[in-house]
Amino acid sequence: MAEILPLKAWRYAEYLTPKMEELTAPLFDVVSPKQRQLLYENPLNSIHLSVPQGDDPALNALETLRKWKADGIIQQDKKPGIYVYYQYFRLPGEPNERCRKGFIAQIKAYDWSEGVILRHENTIVSAVNDRIDLLKKTQIQASPTHGLYEDPEEQLENYMDAAISNPLYELEDYQGVREAMAVIQDPEIIKIFLKVLKNKQVILADGHHRIEGAIEYRKSMQGELPDKKWKGFDYHLMYLTNTSGNHLKILPTHRLFYGLELSQAEFLVEIKKWFDVKKFADPEELGGYAFHKPHTFGLVMGEESYTLQLKAGKIDQINLDLPESIRQLDLSVLHEVVFARILGIQPKDQRNSDQIVYERNFSKCIQQVRSSEASFAIITRELELEQVLEVCRSGEVMPQKSTYFYPKALGGLLFASIKQDEFEFDYGTFIE
């Protein structure tokens, strides 16, 4: 089902290869304000294309892009290729290195209703509009979204392993992740990649706003270039990884709450109506606590910390209108009970509430509560990949910020142009 194509990537000129660590950037939705400021100081960093500044950011990005092309800062590969992308990483406390294997290609920007690319969360309209404007003006994609495909036979791994033995780049990124990228330009091998994905659905792991922007832009261009078989505006840049035999790690995203009007004692009384509450000795240790049972959380409030376990039978009183795959999720319970029923913030208002902040960094959660800036923190456990796949297949979406696939793809390793004269190629060469 998924139509993918190789791409003629724009990449930093060869003389800049030794400086790739200084030129790449985190994805636009995870880069912190401090990180951004440091990256903006380098006039050649890819952040100037992915998260441009100024009163008219998209126009500034276009001017930067034109200058980089004219000055030879970035140059386009002459032939299309599949870009193999491996990320080597360790998790805290683990001695062995993991490797997430995948490749970057162009994929048709399918509308959700087509059932080819499946999502698991909704998007924020303002963020999507920003991405559409940037794509429309620059016609360039500075970072890939992340999609998952299921191939238990691992038909592509040998080709990727062979390619990565001769990498274009090897570097360490802002996460401490070792990144390697290589390219496959052999048409016969590229044909195999296209053939394997042809009968697959793709599950979107990361980049909902960017792909939503690509979908909306594609819709706006329908009817244009009727004489062209392959049109640049139809496609989107994606990093594709196999769910089978791969190191796909989903980290938890915790919740901070600001401006609690109840007293701590009153809040705990309400919590105890729904949860079995146990005092936990040391808040600093909650981050490493194994929440094995479903619907369990940590709570940090003031100087105290607690574990929360939804009381037996309470699940039968909430979210009865939701499909079971969504209803049983920890975060569905959390958002319905704590934020909707106890604190009165209805689900439709939670996404844009300035009282709820989503924070992956456990230490920051502790710091925010201890400094009395945040009223409390809810510590969550990680999702299992199978839960995400089940939700995607159901056609439903999860509560916001349910997943944080780690590590994040890196921006700036390559750029994909959808400008027709740069996108143009006889892609039939790669299709059987």
Instruction: Assess contact for 63 and 49: CB atoms under 8 A.
Output: no
Whether residues 137 and 86 share a domain: the answer is yes
Instruction: Assess contact for 238 and 116: CB atoms under 8 A.
Output: no
Whether residues 355 and 236 share a domain: the answer is no
Q: Does residue 323 or residue 38 have the better pLDDT?
A: 38
Q: From CA 50, how far away is CA 140, in angstroms rounded?
A: 9
Across 24-40, average pLDDT = 82
Last residue of a domain, one of 342, 366, 381: 381
Tell me the pLDDT of the chain averaged across its residues. 91
Range of the domain at 368: 252-381
Q: Is residue 399 part of a domain?
A: no
Q: In sequence order, what are the residues at sequence separation of 6 or more whose Cβ sits closer than 8 angstroms to the Cβ of residue 161?
A: 101
Question: Above 60 in pLDDT, residue 372?
Answer: yes
Whether residues 232 and 280 share a domain: the answer is no
Give strand pairing partners of 103. Answer: 84, 240
Instruction: List the CATH number of the domain containing 322.
Output: 3.30.1760
Do strands 145-149 and 82-89 pair parallel, antiparallel, or not at all (unpaired)? unpaired
Question: Above 90 in pLDDT, residue 417?
Answer: yes
Q: Is residue 423 part of a domain?
A: yes
- Of the candidate ranges 145-149, 157-161, 191-195, 279-283, the one whose mean pLDDT is the lowest: 279-283
Give strand pairing partners of 150. Answer: none
Which pLDDT belongs to residue 320?
A: 72
Q: What is the pTM of this model?
A: 0.88
Across 390-397, average pLDDT = 79
Confidence of residue 46 (pLDDT cuts 50, 70, 90): very high
- In tens, the pLDDT along 343-371 reads 999 888 888 889 999 998 899 999 999 99
Instruction: Assess contact for 153 and 238: CB atoms under 8 A.
Output: no
Q: Is residue 75 part of a domain?
A: yes
Count of domains observed in the chain: 2
Whether residues 199 and 299 share a domain: the answer is no
Q: Is residue 398 part of a domain?
A: no
Number of CB atoms found within 10 A of residue 109's CB: 22
Q: Is residue 199 part of a domain?
A: yes
Q: In sequence order, what are the residues at sequence separation of 6 or more whose Cβ sits closer than 8 angstroms to the Cβ of residue 84?
A: 101, 102, 103, 160, 163, 164, 181, 182, 183, 184
Q: From CA 315, how far away is CA 320, in angstroms rounded?
A: 9
- Of the candidate ranges 32-41, 51-60, 174-183, the one whose mean pLDDT is the lowest: 32-41
Number of CB atoms found within 10 A of residue 284's CB: 12
Instruction: Assess contact for 85 and 413: CB atoms under 8 A.
Output: yes
Whether residues 163 and 27 share a domain: the answer is yes
| Residue whose structure tokens are 């970057």 | 104
Which pLDDT belongs to residue 328?
A: 86
Question: Above 60 in pLDDT, residue 126?
Answer: no
Which pLDDT belongs to residue 208?
A: 83
Q: From CA 247, how far away is CA 98, in angstroms rounded?
A: 6
Whether residues 161 and 137 share a domain: the answer is yes
- 46-85 burial string, b = 16+ CB within 10 Å, else e? bbbbbbbeeeebbebbbbbbeebbeeebbeebeebbbbbb
- In tens, the pLDDT along 198-244 reads 999 999 988 888 898 999 999 999 999 999 999 999 999 999 999 98
The tokens for 191 are 């044909």
- Cα–Cα distances (Å) from 155 to 5, 63, 182, 424, 431, in that order, read 17, 42, 18, 28, 17
Whether residues 24 and 90 share a domain: the answer is yes
Q: Is residue 395 part of a domain?
A: no
Whether residues 223 and 295 share a domain: the answer is no
Q: Is residue 393 part of a domain?
A: no
Whether residues 176 and 309 share a domain: the answer is no
Q: From CA 168, how far away is CA 158, in angstroms rounded?
A: 18
| Residue whose structure tokens are 């997943």 | 403
Q: Is residue 392 part of a domain?
A: no
Which pLDDT belongs to residue 249?
A: 82
Which pLDDT belongs to residue 396?
A: 76
- In tens, the pLDDT along 237-253 reads 999 999 987 787 888 88
Q: Residue 305: which H helix or E strand, with range?
A: strand 304-310
- In tens, the pLDDT along 282-335 reads 888 887 777 778 899 999 999 899 999 999 999 999 887 888 888 888 988 999
Question: Above 80 in pLDDT, residue 31?
Answer: no
Whether residues 151 and 257 share a domain: the answer is no
Whether residues 35 and 171 share a domain: the answer is yes
Which pLDDT belongs to residue 127?
A: 60
Whether residues 309 and 204 share a domain: the answer is no
CA angle at residue 30 from 24 to 34, to 5 degrees?
Answer: 75
Which pLDDT belongs to residue 342?
A: 95
